[in-house]
Amino acid sequence: MYFTAIIDIYSRYIVGWSISNSMEAEWVAGVVEEAVEIHGKPEIINSDQGIQFTSDCYINFI
């Protein structure tokens, strides 16, 4: 199981999260998309350099 959380660094509030059986870029982009739909577009998005965060799918979404 994989867990992805989107955290507002200022308030430390978790603005989006999800659990999946596989770590796919589409899934991660979907978690970010849902958080943006609910809380609005952030000025900065910071992630690690894992393959799902450097994939074309994720980068094109961002």
Residues 5-36 have pLDDT tens digits of 999 999 999 999 999 999 899 999 999 999 99
Residue 3 confidence (pLDDT) = 95
Residue 33 confidence (pLDDT) = 94
Residue 62 confidence (pLDDT) = 87
Q: What is the pTM of this model?
A: 0.84
Q: Tokens standing for 53?
A: 């965060």
Count of alpha carbons within 13 angstroms of residue 37, beta-carbon side: 7
pLDDT at residue 48 tops 90: no
In Å, what is the CA distance from 37 to each residue of 1, 42, 45, 49?
25, 11, 15, 24
Q: How confident is the model over 56-60, as a mean pLDDT?
A: 92
Which of 40, 17, 38, 36 is closest to 28 using CA atoms?
A: 17
